[in-house]
């Protein structure tokens, strides 16, 4: 329905669209709704969080994480960098 502003487009129609503003998305949804039966919209924050968690009911999507004194945590390690796996010193962190 127009130009694809995505930087990552090598995977064709399987790529998500990025580099698009909220207003452009709203215009796209309005156009889509005028062409299709049904009503499309962006998910609410709560709906997005629920979908991103994949059914998890813990504080973090990867499960219960308790990092004390910067100890290594397998669940947190899978999500990102923190003082337990960054291999650099942080103020207040003693490995």
- The string of DSSP letters for 1-50 reads ------S--TTGGGSPP-S--HHHHHHHHHHHHHHSSS---PPPHHHHHH
| Residue 86: both structure tokens together | 């960054």
Q: What's the pLDDT at 91?
A: 60
In 43-92, which ranges are continuous DSSP H helix?
45-53, 74-79
Q: pTM to 2 decimals?
A: 0.52
Question: Residue 18: CB partners within 8 Å, gap ≥ 6?
Answer: 5, 6, 7, 8
- Of residues 7 and 63, more confidently modeled: 7
Q: For residue range 34-93, what is the model confidence (pLDDT) as tens digits?
A: 998 889 999 999 888 888 877 777 766 666 666 555 566 677 777 777 666 677 665 655
Q: What's the pLDDT at 51?
A: 84
């Amino acid at each position: 329905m127009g130009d694809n502003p995505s930087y990552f487009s090598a995977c064709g129609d399987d790529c998500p669209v990025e580099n698009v503003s909220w207003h452009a998305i709203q215009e796209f949804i309005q156009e889509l709704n005028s062409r299709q039966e049904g009503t499309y919209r962006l998910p609410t924050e709560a709906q997005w969080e629920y979908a991103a968690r994949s059914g998890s009911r813990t504080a973090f999507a990867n499960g219960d994480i308790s990092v004390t004194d910067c100890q290594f945590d397998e669940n947190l390690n899978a999500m990102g960098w923190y003082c337990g796996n960054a291999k650099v010193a942080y103020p207040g962190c003693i490995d």
